[in-house]
Structure 1
């Protein structure tokens, strides 16, 4: 059996995450050496010692894992700055102060028995391919240690394990970190020579919680001083807002209260003690009914807004002043309006309209709303790390990005280009306060603003078991994609000529038909028009999304679990049910059980 085969499932699309039983001492040690190799590869030409910042969340054992990783990095010649208990965005903020290398031991919003790790290399989150390369590096590290053990066994005359059983060959010429006789170094796989780094005393720095928080808070304060230079009152007196914050016993517990106290007239905090057992429930504000306590507290305190953060502070959910949860679609629109309002000069300097990025699970109304703001809506695959990369590659054209799961990223050169939920919430609060103070109607509140937006009747982001069909090697998503393309081609026999955009969609989605060919399905043109009425748009960049005249639906394969995720929305309950029925009919030829599950999904 290959080394760490059980741990392969931990290496997911965005990070390392899974059950704590897999985070064994041996695995964490091998992972530490793999990280050391990763950061040494990034060594600059001046041979300056690479600096890596390390922090951890509130979960049990996160601090121990962080310390073990730090120890290994130091032994391998890297300089480490220990940040202690922090949010993921705070790790990113501190990494930005140095070379953009950082690690945080966190499982984000997952349950208490889940552990995880996120990291940056040169200011970038890892790609799916880079995460898998790290897993291969972990295996190679273990191979080297096994090879050294076998060498020692040969000298002792004892039998050795055969490396052939691992399923890997040691043939690549690459550097792999090894440990022998308590010394850390590199061993090139094709040569027995070592380069040993001797630990030195100044390779580790511990920053106090006060230092870590103070610099982060000061950087955010400077942002709002620059945003409102003529409004000195916002710094002489606090925002005239009553705010309720639910920290969900996560990593924001030690930073959010003092930061919001700095800006707001009155702050009420819930679940604001760091506790890795999460006694109030999973630190996931998007879970159904998870915001009930916050909603009731907003009503009881007659607050202006309720704010909820997830376990590591990179996801945000909002409750309005009536205690109603603001849908992430509406929140994304509001935050997009914030950035377009607060940086009009920079936006006008762009050669084309500023772009707003949103993920494929967001509602059908959002593109129209963003267009009315003067922005160009851009649909994206789901995944905040994918969106960040797209933003960083856009040369400033994409000024804001958000996704249904509550990740929101500002890209206006004022703060870190990262999904910092605390920062996003403060941007919203300042915009609300400024809009209210300049309004002819000073009683404007969040509920009134939301009321003016189009109504959305939708399901939550729903998880469905991934169907398995032994008769074909095609996934349900591939089969559904082919069917939708085929139906559109049938309709075009009598329909008007497709637009250029529709041609692009078809060329993107078209695939070679295989054993699961849908041409054998007895579908008439009339049935095709009923399933996909003329004017329906199809997107296949991440699963299958269909936009109808009065709603939309999407089914895609999850990047973080062995499930499908589905969301449906309509302008009314009748429209929502019609769209669910259409998706069920599309899926029924391939999996009747999936079709039944789609129909059974309830609205939020």
Structure 2
């Protein structure tokens, strides 16, 4: 069973053979309720982003949990990391997020948090899946669950975000916030305003259909323009559910997740709270690895995906990691990726260093990168094909330790992504094309 269940208008998509309809979501709520009720647990929180189908799925989940005899605490629109925090701090037995993250409004999805604000164990997910195959039964009237609204959810989360940077003072800072018409549309402006900043907010008028539409962390052009237009100190952009962040410096240049992770790591080390090394992914820019190496900070790469970054952090007992997309983990502050908390960490670095965002990011120089998608018509494992691997080794040898090659089958398309990265952009582009031709001859 996947940790996320995506669909379109609530009807397209599947987990195994289960179509994602309101009926399926109600059954999913019931199945989860049955599993937690058997463990003697009785309270699950439900939060959502701002897309229109959230109303429908929220009601369906509530009905399923009620039928299973489990109480539902309704949070309303709330960033995904806020739901994780409230699940933990309100001592709920689990949290459910209704969101499709950075996707368009017509997609939606569901994922779960455990009682401690982390992803559910696989064993619990498998138990939920087992109940999906059983007929749905309703608890007796005296055993039905109840639903209740948590009216101070936003205020609690706002105070939590501020508590992660108690020394931070933003008076005199002009900041553009782009909330993607998503779940941070009330939270982020309140956090930064209460810390003293002058806020210019865009993407704060959700209508159920405009979430992530040409705005937010995945489409930062409006944010860049607004920073230049208003002569702001910087801009901060979130995605629809608030677990990703990108920033724009005072020159209007994008500061992506790799650069933000570098800034966070350097600041954490200066405050003696780094606690080890840094975890990136296979897609993290080589410039991040080289910059950290220069500073004698350990760096490891995980598979693409926040759950794999988290696994590596736990294995190494480290605190800081993230992805180029801006999904950043600061485990000494919170239990999951949190766009607002990560942005506050950057603001703390600016305050302590006395430097601008442009100056701080300049410590890391991004390497040129060329990626070519090669259509795959044959079921060939590129990691085991000797010809492809020999060609990749030849390219890495020519890069002479100042570059790398990544061959990665897409998880969503019938293509292999051929990526070459290095300090010499002309050489990188040339070698990427040569390697892609070799891969194409074999897999197409």
TM-score (norm 1): 0.66
| Aligned equivalent of 2:397 | 533
> Closer, same or farther in 2 for the Cα pair 1:214/1:420, shift >3 Å?
same
- Within the candidate set 300, 316, 322, 2:251 is matched to 322
| Aligned equivalent of 1:125 | 119
| Aligned equivalent of 2:423 | 571
Structure 2: which 5+ residue stretches go unaligned?
13-19
Using the alignment, how far apart are the partners of 2:129 and 2:418 within structure 1? Answer: 30
Aligned: 1:406 with 2:349: no
> Closer, same or farther in 2 for the Cα pair 1:417/1:263, shift >3 Å?
same
Whether the 8 Å CA contact 2:376–2:414 is kept in 1: the answer is: no
Using the alignment, how far apart are the partners of 1:213 and 1:566 within structure 2? Answer: 43
Q: CA RMSD in A?
A: 2.8
Give matches, 1:161-560, under 5 Å. Answer: 178-179=136-137, 184-185=138-139, 196=140, 198-199=142-143, 203-208=146-151, 211-225=152-166, 228=167, 234=168, 238-278=170-210, 281=213, 285-286=217-218, 290-342=219-271, 344=272, 346=273, 354-394=276-316, 397-412=317-332, 415-436=333-354, 444-459=355-370, 464=373, 467-469=376-378, 474-475=379-380, 478-483=381-386, 487=390, 530-533=394-397, 549-559=401-411
Whether the 8 Å CA contact 2:48–2:54 is kept in 1: the answer is: yes
Give SS of 1:52's match.
strand
Residue-by-residue CA offset, 1:73-130 (whole Å, 9 max, x unaligned):
1231222211011110111011111145100111111111111111113433146786
How far apart are 1:557 and its partner, in Å? Answer: 3.1
Residue-by-residue CA offset, 1:39-74 (whole Å, 9 max, x unaligned):
235x2xxx4x43211111111121221122122212
Give SS of 1:308's match.
strand
Give SS of 2:51's match.
coil
Whether the 8 Å CA contact 2:374–2:416 is kept in 1: the answer is: yes
Whether the 8 Å CA contact 1:53–1:83 is kept in 2: the answer is: yes
Whose radius of gyration is greater, 1 or 2? 1
How far apart are 1:555 and its partner, in Å? Answer: 3.0
Following TM superposition, the consecutive aligned residue runs of length 4 or more in structure 1 with deviations greater than 6 angstroms are 127-130
Aligned: 1:35 with 2:32: yes
Give SS of 1:269's match.
strand
TM-score (norm 2): 0.88
Using the alignment, how far apart are the partners of 1:554 and 1:272 within structure 2? Answer: 38
Give SS of 2:47's match.
strand
Give SS of 1:16's match.
coil
Using the alignment, how far apart are the partners of 2:76 and 2:432 within structure 1? Answer: 47
Using the alignment, how far apart are the partners of 1:112 and 1:220 within structure 2? Answer: 27
| Aligned equivalent of 1:51 | 43
Whether the 8 Å CA contact 1:249–1:271 is kept in 2: the answer is: yes
Residue-by-residue CA offset, 1:302-344 (whole Å, 9 max, x unaligned):
11111110010011111111011123322221122233233x1
Whether the 8 Å CA contact 1:248–1:308 is kept in 2: the answer is: yes
